[in-house]
Amino acid sequence: MAAADNPINANNATNSPYGSGAPYYNESTGFITRHPAKTRTSNWVKIGVPVLILVIIGAVVGGVLGSRASKSSTSSTNSSNSPGSSNGEAAASSAASIKNAVGRFATATESKYDPFQPKTPSVLNVRPDRPRLIAPAYKWAALPNLIKSDPYLKGWNETIFANATDYFAKSPVAYFWDHDSGMLDNAREVKMRLKAFAYVYRMTNDTRWVDRAWQEIKNAAGNGTTPFGPDEDKWNSGHFLDAAELSSAFGIAYDWLYDLWTDDQKSQIRTTLIKYGLQHGLTAFTDHNVGWWTNSGTTGNWNCVCNGGLTVASLAILDDDTTGIARQLLGLTIDNAKQNCAQATVDDGSWAETANYWYFGTTGHAEMASALISATGSDYGLLDVNANFFKTGLYHMYVFGPTSLFDYGDHGPNKFSTTANSLLLYAAEYNQPQFSLFQREQHDAAEPWSMFWYDPSVSGAFWDGTPLDMFFNNDLDQWVSMRSSWTDTNALYVAAKAGKNQGHQTHNDLDAGDFVLDALGTRWTGELGSGDYNSPYYFSNDTQGSARWTYYRKMTQGQNTILINEANQNVLAAPKVTGQSSGTKQGSSTVLDIPDNSTAYWVADISSAYFDASVVKRGVRLLNKRRQVLVQDEITSTASVQWRMHTNATITIDGTTATLALDGETMKVSMLNPPSGAQFSQMQAQRLNPDPAPPVPDQDNPGVSVLVISLPAGQYTLEVLFNPQWSGMSDSDFVTPDSVPLDNWSLTSHK
C-alpha cells in the first residue's frame, strides 16, 4: 500500500501541527514536553470556543465515552450524536457547563519552575527534595489550584478520595496464591492502595492515612496479624512481576510519605524491600534462568513492569541505602529496559504482545520514565530510543472499539493499578495532545498518576480531525481499525488482523484473519479471551507442536476466521495485507455526517497460514456510509472449509440468512451469491474433535455460539454481509453490493 494511503501519516510527528524540536516548558503547568507546542495558543483562539462548548456538552456532562457501559436506548441510522446531547439532563445543565468552560484552560500561576535542573543528569544524582518520584513538591503545591479550574482533575481527585476511603475501611490485602499468576493481584492491590493513601495524606495532611499505609506495608512485609507468603520469599520472586509491583508500591510509599516515617519505619521498609524485592531483582540480572525477563528479545510487559518496579524502588531509597543495591540496580535496569521494554512496540505502534498486555507494559514503561525524569532530570532515552514508541498511543485509541477492545490473544490478569493513563504522560512527553484528550474521557482515568501526568492546558477534542480508519501494517500484527464515529457509543466498528502467529511473547492465538464487529452498542463478533493460565503447557512455546495450540481458545477453531481441514494454522504464516480508506476524519462536532463515498477496506492474503489450501484471502469492507460490513473470503482448498464466527447473540438461521439477537438489538447476516450447498449452521463454542487433546479439558464458553458455514474441499468465494438493524432504517436503505473479486477491490468498487 502506498504510504500516502495510510492515514497513520496524518498523525505522525513530522506532520504534527505542534511541530517538533527542543523540550518545551509550560510556565503555568510546570509541564515539560520534548516538542514545542508552538501553535497551542493560536489553536486555542482558532478552535477554542466552538469546540470547547461541544466538548463540554458531550464530554463533561453527558460523558462522551463515559456512558460506554450504559448504552443509549435509541440508536439511529445517522446517529453520530453525542450520547450526552440526546440526554435531557445534559441539555439542562449545558448552560452551566459552558460557563465552566472558561476554567478548562488552567491558568494557575502557582506552579514554580522546577528548581532541579541538573546540567548533566545522572541516574545516581537524585533531586534533593522529596517527593522525588513522579510528583515533586512543586507539582503538589500547584495541584489544588489546578483542581479548582479543571473539571477532569476535580473529578479524578474526588474519585481517588472516595476509593481511598473504601480501601481505608478494609483489612490490609490478604495474601492469596491464585495459581494463575502467583500473588500478582495482591501485589497490584497493595500498590493501588498505597498510592491512594499517600495521595490523600498529601492532599489533607491527615496522618490517619499514613497510619493506614503503614498497616498495609507491615502486612505485605509479613509483619501483620495474618501471614503473608512463605518465610524466605514472601513476594514470590519466581514470578517476578509480583515482587516488582510490591517493590514499586513500597518505593512510592517510602518517597511520598518520606517526611512522615520515623527512621525506624524507613529502615524497616528498606530492609523488607531489599530482602524480598531488590535482592531477587539483582539475582535476575546475573542468573538469566531466574531472570529470563532480562534476556534480549523480551519485548513485552514483563521487562517493563520488572525494570520499572526495580527502578522506582531503587530511586526511592538511593541515598539512604547503605547496601549499594539500589545503585547497582540503577546501573542495570535502564539499559535493559531500553533494549527490551522500549522495543515492545513495532514501527506502527502496535504492542508486540496483545492489546490487553499493552496496559501492563506501558504502565511499567511510563512509571519508569516519569520516575527517572522527576528524580534525576532525564529519562536517559527510554522514551526516545525507539523512535516509533509514541505511536503506541494511536495503537491504543484505534484498538479500542465503541464497546471494548479488539481483544485478540491473551487478556492478562486483572488491571489493579494498571490503566491506560500512560497516555497522559505520552501526550505531554511526545506532544501528542490527542492521547490525553482521549484518555481523560475514560473510566480508568482517575488515579494518582493522572493528577501529575495530565496537562490541563491541553485543548480541543480527540476526535477533531482524527481519521476514522487506521492501518497497522507491520508484519507482526497487520491489523486494521475502521469505524463510523469516535463519539457514538452505538457506532459501527470492525477490526481485523492477519500477522504472524509467533513473536508475541506466547500470548497470541492462531488467528490470522480474525475479526471483531461492534454496532448498536454491542459486540456481535467477539473473542473468547485467555485460557486458564495455570493449565499445563499453556505458555510452553509457540512452535507448531506446542500444547498451547491444543486449547480451544487458542487454536484456530476458537477464532473468527477460516478453518481448513479442522486444523490449526501454520505458525510460520507470513500473510500479506493491503487496503485503503477514504480518509474520512471526524470534525470538531460529536455529530459526524458521513459522506456517501466514505469507506475503507482491507484485504489479507492468509494463504501461508494453511496447510491444505493454496489460496485463502479475506477482505473486510464498510458499505453504505459505514452502516454495513462485507466480509469476503476467496478459498481454494483440498480439504474441508469452515467459516466461523463466535458471538454472544442468540442465532436464528434460515438457510443463507442468520438473524442475531443481543442486548435488545438485531443483526442480520446474509450470504450473497452463496456457493452451491452453502448455508449457515450453529455450533457450540467447543472443540470439533477430541484430537489434538489438550492436557486438561477446555474451559466452557457460556453464552457463546458459533455461526458457521461448512463446505467440502473446493474453490469458493464467500460473501457475508452484516446488516445491523439501525432504528429508522428500512430494508430498502440497505445496499446489496455487487460481487467483486478481492483483487479488484478499490475505494469505488462497491459504489
Ligand X SMILES: *[C@@H]1O[C@H](CO)[C@@H](O)[C@H](O)[C@H]1NC(C)=O
Which of 25-33, 118-126, 394-402, 737-745 is the region at the interface with ligand X (rule: CB under 6 A)?
737-745
Say if CB 60 and CB 151 are below 8 A apart: yes
Selected binder of ligand X within 72, 75, 94, 272 (CB under 6 A): 272
Sole window of 113-121, 377-385, 488-496, 738-746 interacting with ligand X (rule: CB under 6 A):
738-746
Q: Between 21 and 444, whose beta carbon lies closer to ligand X? A: 444
| DSSP-derived pairing of the beta strands 705-711 and 714-724 | unpaired
Amino acid sitting at position 350:
S
Are the CB atoms for 114 and 25 separated by under 8 Å? no
Q: Interface residues for ligand X in 554-593 (CB under 6 A)? A: 582, 593
Q: How far is the CB of 345 from ligand X (least distance, A)?
A: 24
- Cell numbers linked to 56: 463540554
H helix intervals, 109-150: 137-149
Residue from 117, 414, 597, 652 binding ligand X (CB under 6 A): 597
Q: Which helix or strand (DSSP H or E) is residue 633 part of?
A: strand 628-637
The one segment of 26-34, 97-105, 232-240, 543-551 that binds ligand X by CB under 6 A: 543-551
Name the residue with the smallest CB distance to ligand X: 526
**Residue 517 touching ligand X (CB under 6 A):** no
Q: Is 144 in the site for ligand X (CB under 6 A)?
A: yes
Is the distance from CB of 718 to CB of 671 less than 8 angstroms? yes
Of 61-69, 162-170, 173-181, 636-644: span binding ligand X (CB under 6 A): 162-170
CA distance 235 to 232: 9
- Interface mask toward ligand X for 168-207; x: CB under 6 A: -----------------------------------xxx--
Per the structure block, which three cell numbers stand in for 549? 495450540
Residue 69 burial (C-beta neighbours within 10 Å; 0-12, 13-18, 19+)? exposed
661 binds ligand X (CB under 6 A): no
Say how far apart CA 683 and CA 679 lie, in whole Å.
13
Our CB check for ligand X shows the closer of 696 and 747 to be 747
CB of 163 or CB of 450, closer to ligand X: 163
The least distance separating ligand X from the CB of residue 505, rounded to whole angstroms, comes to 15
- CA–CA separation, 196 and 638 (whole Å): 60
Determine, following the binding rule CB under 6 A, whether residue 693 of this chain makes contact with ligand X. no
Residue with cell 453504505: 624
Name which position in 478, 546, 628, 723 contacts ligand X (CB under 6 A): 546
Give CA torsion, residues 414, 420, 425, 429, to 10 deg.
Answer: 120
CA–CA distance, 132 with 122 (Å, rounded to integer): 14
Candidate list 646, 698, 721, 724; residue touching ligand X; CB under 6 A: 646
Residue 70 engages ligand X in binding (rule: CB under 6 A): no
Closest separation in Å from C-beta 706 to ligand X: 9
Instruction: Give least dist CB 388 to ligand X, A.
Output: 27
d(CA 22, CA 36): 6
- Distance between CA atoms of residues 358 and 348, nearest Å: 14
Which distant-in-sequence residues (6+ apart) come within 8 Å of 694 by Cβ? 535, 547, 550, 551, 552, 687
Closest distance between ligand X and the C-beta of residue 41, in Å?
A: 27
Residue choice 238, 697, 712, 741 for contact with ligand X (CB under 6 A):
741
φ/ψ (deg, to 5) at 723: -115, 95
Nearest approach, Cβ of 321 to ligand X (angstroms)?
Answer: 14
Q: Residue 234: which of 258, 252, 218 has the closest Cα?
A: 218
Q: Which stretch binds ligand X (CB under 6 A): 154-162, 332-340, 422-430, 565-573?
A: 154-162
Let me know: does 344 contact 300? Beta carbons within 8 Å: yes
Q: Which of 27, 129, 158, 233 binds ligand X (CB under 6 A)?
A: 158
DSSP assignments along 62-95, one per residue: S-TTTTSSS--S---TT----GGGG-HHHHHHHH
Site size toward ligand X (CB under 6 A) is 45
- Axis-axis angle for helices 263-273, 301-317 (nearest 10): 150
CB-nearer residue toward ligand X: 404 or 679: 404
Q: How far is the CB of 685 from ligand X (least distance, A)?
A: 7
Write the binding mask 703 to 732 for ligand X: x where contact by CB under 6 A, - elsewhere.
-x-----------------------x----
What stretches of 136-229 show up as alpha helix (H) in DSSP?
A: 137-149, 151-169, 184-204, 208-220
The reply on whether position 238 binds ligand X by CB under 6 A is no
| Residues at the contact surface with ligand X, assessed by CB under 6 A | 76, 78, 144, 147, 157-159, 161-163, 166, 203-205, 217-218, 221, 223, 268-269, 271-272, 523, 526-527, 537, 540-541, 543, 545-547, 582, 593, 595, 597, 646-648, 704, 728, 740-741, 744, 747
